[in-house]
Amino acid sequence: MNTPMNSPTTLACRIHGAHDLRLEPEQAPDLGPHDVRLRLGAGGICGSDLHYWQHGKVGAFVVREPLVPGHEASGVVEAIGAAVTRVVPGDRVAINPSHPCGVCDYCRSGRGNLCRKMFFLGSASVFPHAQGMFRQAFVMGEAQLTPIAEAHISLGEIACAEPLSIGLHALHRAGPVLGETVLITGGGTIGCMSVLAARLAGAAHITVCDIHDRPLEMARTVGADQVLRSDQVDMKQLADSADVAIEAAGSAAALATCLMAVKRGGRVMQVGTLPAEIPFPANSVMARELDYRGVFRAHLAFDWAVQAIRSRRVDVRPLITAQMPLARSLEAFELAADKTRSTKVQVTAD
């Protein structure tokens, strides 16, 4: 076999279907003029990666060919194409997994996350699938990269830019919260990122509820004022109390809590992926003049997240539970799936 010297053979983690995760060798593609070859720094396992692994799909996105998961990653630059100016070999970089087309009506009106031709890494939303970053090495256009010069910020923290961007985008979509009361259902990674974002945005009081203790402890650690076991206390105590409710648990019961707990005229943000068909008290949205808003991925908030992390204005370190080499991906996925033992689990090149 003829192996070009500039594209070494490396290991990739691939999901072939439900409960079929394999480690396979591959060869990184050659570099185009604006391309950068990266070695994986850290790659966070997200709820959507877990869904692909456990069910072979996320909502309507079904794995139809082997999919490399992973959209929350940092990297170290190994080689650059002839025309690359943003980075040099050795740079540690944040990687934006979102590739909007830049020319559709949504892109041109500033809502690139809703792009008609979105290519989002590690996603089966398109076919052929957008292959992700749980691989030792990969090639990325330089436009996706932001070099992080701050040596004290770890590759694990940098890899948290994408999930933090979801929290920041949720708070951006919620509108100003300075001095307001915020309820967040779900104390997982996105719930905790929403706590961090709500604090950054000046919320006066943040309540988080969950059905496990560990996520609630984590939510407290990152700044929640009050935490509640929604399966143990009477949630009606929250009725009509929050200016903003953020659904980050992905359950119908949590959404019902949000709709009940928000004040008249308040805003309910749906961040979590809910089951396809659930009861929805639409008349309470009408009679209480609620604003019901969706939050899908992020757009400008990715760069806000990078800035917040590199300056440590937001400290994501408590959320990183463990890092494991790609060779132990299965173990890493199992740990990530257990919310009583982990928040964010990341894989590393070796």
Footprint on this chain of Zn ion (rule: CB under 5 A): 46, 100-101, 104, 107, 115
Smallest gap, in angstroms, from Cβ of residue 188 to Zn ion? 11
Which 8-state DSSP code applies to residue 143?
A: G
Q: How many residues does the chain have?
A: 350
Smallest gap, in angstroms, from Cβ of residue 182 to Zn ion? 21
CA 260 centroid distance within chain: 27
Q: Is 107 or 260 the residue whose CB approaches Zn ion more closely?
A: 107
Q: For 169-191, give the DSSP string.
A: HHHHHH---TT-EEEEE--SHHH
Q: Is 117 or 229 the residue whose CB approaches Zn ion more closely?
A: 117
Taking the C-alpha atoms of residue 226 and residue 208, their distance in angstroms, rounded to an integer, is 6
Q: Is 105 or 150 the residue whose CB approaches Zn ion more closely?
A: 105
> CB atoms < 10 A from the CB of 121, how many?
24
- Residue 324: phi and psi, rounded to 5, are -140, 150
Smallest gap, in angstroms, from Cβ of residue 207 to Zn ion? 24
Return the structure tokens found at 157: 């923290």
Smallest gap, in angstroms, from Cβ of residue 309 to Zn ion? 15
Q: Is 222 or 242 the residue whose CB approaches Zn ion more closely?
A: 222
Q: Is 181 or 189 the residue whose CB approaches Zn ion more closely?
A: 189
Quick one: which of 184, 251, 218 has its CA closest to 344? Answer: 218
Q: Is 107 or 183 the residue whose CB approaches Zn ion more closely?
A: 107
Smallest gap, in angstroms, from Cβ of residue 139 to Zn ion? 21
Whether the CA torsion 204, 319, 160, 250 is positive or negative: it is negative
Taking the C-alpha atoms of residue 73 and residue 171, their distance in angstroms, rounded to an integer, is 22
Smallest gap, in angstroms, from Cβ of residue 100 to Zn ion? 5
CA distance between the termini of the chain: 26
